[in-house]
Amino acid sequence: MPVQTQKKERKIKPIDGNSPTVRKMDFEGLDQLSDYYVAGNSFITHTVNAYHVIFPEGERFFIKSVKAFADQVTDPDLQSRIKGFIGQEVQHGKEHEKALEMLEKQGRPVSRILKFYAKTAYGFFWPVLEFIFGKKLKLAVTAGLEHYTASLGEVSLKYNLHDQAEGEMRNLLLWHACEEIEHKSVAYDVLQTISKSYVLRIFGFIVASVMFWGYAFTLQHLFIFSDPKIGFRRYFADLISARSYAKLIVFEVGKMSLLYFKPGFHPNQTGGYDLANAALATI
């Protein structure tokens, strides 16, 4: 059953894909959440925990990738959207870092998992890829990852998956999903300004796909294997219980990911803005 949340009064600007807005939310009470704060399920909760680790460093990666080419953007509207994009990503990183503090208080090995992620992704994979293929690939990967995060956000909102999360975590996940939809075309439009190469775009998306699914699975299981409350029986019981969620996300996000391979694709074609607006009003 969804966890009921007492609504906190907030004045929130509506979603506008043409002008992303920085919303400083300052979510509180995350330290009051239970160990398995999403549907009481350890498998789903540790999947979300994995993304709490991924997002702060990931947001900084997105910002650097876009900033590296921002001076080549002459369109004033896109320049304005870049500023909104950067501001939103900074806020996302801050709120997910609060979630990491909550996980540390729960006794999760956040520092070890974060160290593993930072060393492998940003100490090895990205430097090697940038050395071989240059900064344009990082921008292409960022555009691809933005398509994934927006797709995941849209699926979450469409099927009310965020309502399975307790307290302010529900609002944090919902807000992040809405803003991912709002700014989903910014990195893509910067990439198209720099290079319209279909090969670059698709290669970047393939790398993004490996990173998106690979780190989600790996970090999720690092949390699971370090959790003393999860034994053999609990693992498979929660895995079976989470199957409907997993199938929904993999199928729906996978279906949306295929759109990226269309030669004439643009993120705006998937819409989702009205859905995000309606959802954001519930915070």
Would you list the DSSP string of 21-39?
Answer: ---------GGGS-TTTBT
Chain CA centroid to CA 104, Å: 20
Residue 55 has pLDDT above 50, yes or no: yes
Band of residue 48 on the pLDDT scale cut at 50, 70, 90: very high
Band of residue 205 on the pLDDT scale cut at 50, 70, 90: very high
For the beta carbon of residue 137, count every other beta carbon within 10 angstroms.
Answer: 18
Find the mean pLDDT for residues 60-67.
97
Give the phi and the psi of residue 165 in degrees, each rounded to 5.
-90, 145
Residue 2 has pLDDT above 80, yes or no: no
- Rounded Cα gap, residues 212 and 124, in angstroms: 16
Residue 245, SS3? helix
Asked if residue 36 lies in contact with residue 45, where contact means CB atoms within 8 angstroms, the answer is yes
CA angle (41, 10, 23) in 5-degree steps: 85
Residue 7 confidence (pLDDT): 54
Residue 29 has pLDDT above 80, yes or no: yes
Find the mean pLDDT for residues 51-80.
97
Give the phi and the psi of residue 38 in degrees, each rounded to 5.
-115, 105
Residue 9 confidence (pLDDT): 63
Residue 118 has pLDDT above 90, yes or no: yes
Find the mean pLDDT for residues 15-20.
94
Residue 222, SS3? helix
- Rounded Cα gap, residues 256 and 272, in angstroms: 12
| CA-closest candidate to residue 182, choices 97, 84, 93, 101 | 84
- Rounded Cα gap, residues 239 and 42, in angstroms: 8
Residue 11 confidence (pLDDT): 79
